[in-house]
Amino acid sequence: MEPIIQTYQLQKTFGGEQALKPLDFSLQKGEICALIGKNGAGKSTFFKILSGQIVATAGEVHLFGKSGDAVASQKSRLGFMVESPQFFPDFTAAQNMEYFRIQRGVVEKARVTEVLKLVGLSHHRKKKFHEYSMGMKQRLGIALCLLSGPDCLVLDEPINGLDAEGIKEVRQLLLELNQRKQMTILVSSHLLAELQLIASRFVFIKDGTVVEDVSKAELEDKSKKQLILHVDLPAKAVQLLERQYEGVDYLLLPNKGLKLFNYLDFASEINRLLVENGIEVREIQYESLNLEDYFLGLVEDDVYA
């Protein structure tokens, strides 16, 4: 594993208010990592510290395995989009990129053509910015991040405010950059669903700290639909289910509850089996855990018990 970004006990205080509590985070080469949090969770503050726009109150940032004074030299290897770039509306895409190429001191002129191609805007390079769709504008913003040839993109809410088509375009682009150009990507959103299709890892941030850090597989596992049963004799119910349904996947809950993860289409058959064997089924219902609610702390903690 090759670390791209690591933070240790990162903190930021604004006038007595702690925007970032000690925040430990790491991003590995090749990942698309989604940083998910509600408005005010601390995502922008975190990104602004990484980009150097603001300074942390305490803690450390390591970039590409470098720490201390060596970090500064690694910053150019990250391409940031922390705020929406201000493009000139009456310039074409190519003119806008050329302006920023010169402004940022990128030497190779050909880089403009390259990045427009990378984000799929070659055919629209002569179109004026104000004629672009929302998705195209955002793709141009990502082209700007790519101008200096970074190894990793850090994008703050790039999908925010886009229509469905724009969201799809940006997601597709990020996936292509990751798969075809081996670009590591850290991308934030306040909606899990926006990034669920592309991210390989999900870091949930709440009140300035990481509350959950899961892989795609772990996330999918947690979002499985479940069948919840409440019976008077759970141990006996489990014995019957194991005998009847090969590989039945279950969890015993407090208060004589039983959670089934497979055989979900067998609810009425399961009910009959239990009742016919003298078990009182007090409740049987489907539950689809809303991860968004769970991780963002909008539901009771014991929903996952």
Ligand X SMILES: Nc1ncnc2c1ncn2[C@@H]1O[C@H](COP(=O)(O)OP(=O)(O)OP(=O)(O)O)[C@@H](O)[C@H]1O
Structure tokens at 135: 């998705």
* Residue among 37 and 234 whose Cβ is closer to ligand X: 37
Among 6, 45, 74, 184, binds ligand X (CB under 6 A): 45
Site string for ligand X, 7-26 (x = CB under 6 A): -------x--x-x-------
Among 31, 33, 37, 144, binds ligand X (CB under 6 A): 37
* Residue among 42 and 79 whose Cβ is closer to ligand X: 42
44 binds ligand X (CB under 6 A): yes
* Residue among 10 and 274 whose Cβ is closer to ligand X: 10
Amino acid identity of residue 164, one-letter, is A
206 binds ligand X (CB under 6 A): no
Among 41, 136, 173, 195, binds ligand X (CB under 6 A): 41
Q: Could you tell me where the beta strands, DSSP code E, fall in 17-170?
A: 17-28, 32-36, 58-63, 78-81, 152-155
Give CA–CA dist 292/289, Å, rounded.
Answer: 9
Q: Are 281 and 275 in contact (CB under 8 A)?
A: yes
* Residue among 46 and 294 whose Cβ is closer to ligand X: 46
* Residue among 156 and 237 whose Cβ is closer to ligand X: 156
Please tell me the number of Cα atoms within 13 Å of 206 on its side-chain side.
Answer: 11
Q: Are 182 and 30 in contact (CB under 8 A)?
A: yes
The one-character DSSP state at 19 is E
**What is the chain's alpha carbon radius of gyration, rounded to the nearest angstrom?**
24
39 binds ligand X (CB under 6 A): yes
Amino acid identity of residue 81, one-letter, is M
Chain residues in the site for ligand X (CB under 6 A): 14, 17, 19, 37, 39-45, 190
